[in-house]
Chain A
């Protein structure tokens, strides 16, 4: 294409860039959604782990206290079990707080994500079509055959 068709070249380049952008950002939005689901699943697995540890710790602590009640003469130390229960409870609560923070942020994020997806699926193809029409009219005005036609 010669320099007198620099506008056609520039618009053709812009149109191609818009198309690449649409495909690439569609992948970006999918990856963003996957990352959210992946982290949510990961946190739920961690919560499940600490929930099980908490239940086990509580059972062990209860058994220890039963032994301590039965042993009138020799003292039974249950503090290790009590610490384990406390730690499991704290870890579980910590994970729950992160889950809540993520849930709140996702609500805010989904508004922007939904608008952007709509833009990619609806507005952007329209912009590409309009550019294609403009390029075709420039070609026609100069009696130049569009490349590929």
Chain B
């Protein structure tokens, strides 16, 4: 029998890293951008983007954990 499917580098970890980079960019921008437009952008774009990204990446992490476990447990 074949050795099974080898999962590539975990995409959820790369996704987490990308989100951290984006959060850093946001944190750098906030001190220089404090008007009503900034607050509106934060409410309508930034917060939904950050929250939805976190939800997706948590879900992806759970999925990848399960795939890893399935491969290991059926060797």
Contact = CB atoms under 8 A, between A and B. Distances in A.
B21 A17 contact: yes
Given A13-B28, A36-B63, A116 B8 contact: no
A113 B74 CA distance: 26
Contacts of B52: 115-116, 119
Given A25-B18, A127-B41, A116 B63 contact: no
Interface residues of A, number: 51
Contacts of A29: 11, 56
Contacts of A14: 25-26, 28-29
A94 B29 contact: no
B74 A43 contact: yes
B49 A127 contact: yes
Max chain B C-beta neighbours (<10 A), residue from A18, A39, A98, A130: A39
A10 B29 contact: yes
A32 B21 contact: no
What is the interface of chain B mostly: helix, strand, loop, or mixed?
Answer: helix
A7 B32 contact: yes
A113 B59 contact: yes
Contacts of A7: 32-33
Given A35-B7, A36-B63, 17 more contacts: A10-B28, A17-B26, A21-B19, A28-B15, A31-B8, A39-B67, A42-B4, A42-B71, A45-B1, A101-B66, A102-B66, A102-B67, A102-B70, A109-B60, A109-B63, A112-B59, A130-B45
17 contacts: A10-B28, A10-B31, A13-B29, A14-B29, A24-B14, A27-B11, A28-B60, A31-B11, A36-B67, A41-B5, A46-B74, A105-B62, A105-B66, A115-B52, A115-B55, A116-B52, A119-B53
